[in-house]
């Protein structure tokens, strides 16, 4: 595929994939499809494709080495678990159990805000310095999760026993 066509295809996919991914729960609510397995697989596929396209843009086209890329995926995942489930607890507060239609815009706004904050710090960094800052952000996110009172991870329990 010629280079301008690739840019157009990447832009088209970046524009189309988020609404399609967000519409999967809406389709189930409306009753277009009742096959929950296929909706789950399609949503996971589209989210993975969106992450791959975003990483391709950052590393492939821009040539920047971003090592904390998946931390934003983690932020969105944990926010979704907290906002849309009443089984998740953070400290003494239970999850909110909001509908997906309400929680998705909140998650997008919060994750975008965190992205803007990290971007404001690292806007002028290139090369190794950008890699170090983004790696640091990813590690800070992991440490925040590990220090949370109610986040239980399999390897964390094994470390406590030893």
pLDDT digits (tens, 9 = 90+) for 115-131: 999 888 888 887 788 88
pLDDT digits (tens, 9 = 90+) for 94-122: 667 888 888 889 999 999 999 999 888 88
Task: Parse the chain into domains and list their residue ranges.
Answer: 1-62, 64-162
Beta carbons within 8 Å of 59's beta carbon, 6+ residues apart: 65, 66
pTM: 0.65
Burial of 100: CB neighbours in 10 Å, binned 0-12, 13-18, 19+: middle
């Amino acid at each position: 595929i010629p280079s301008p066509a690739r840019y157009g295809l990447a832009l088209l996919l970046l524009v189309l994939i988020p609404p399609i991914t967000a519409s999967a729960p809406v389709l189930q609510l409306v009753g277009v499809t009742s096959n929950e397995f296929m909706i789950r697989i399609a949503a996971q596929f589209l989210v993975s494709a969106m992450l791959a396209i975003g990483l391709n843009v950052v590393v492939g086209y821009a040539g920047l080495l971003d090592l904390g890329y998946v931390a934003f995926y983690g932020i969105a995942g944990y926010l979704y678990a907290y906002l849309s489930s009443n089984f998740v607890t953070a400290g003494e507060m239970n999850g909110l159990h909001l509908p997906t239609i309400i929680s998705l815009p909140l998650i997008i706004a919060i994750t975008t805000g965190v992205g803007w904050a990290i971007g404001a710090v690292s806007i002028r960094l290139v090369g190794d310095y950008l890699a170090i800052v983004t790696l640091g952000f990813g590690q800070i996110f992991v440490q925040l999760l590990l220090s949370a009172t109610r986040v239980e991870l399999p390897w964390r329990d094994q470390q406590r026993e030893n």
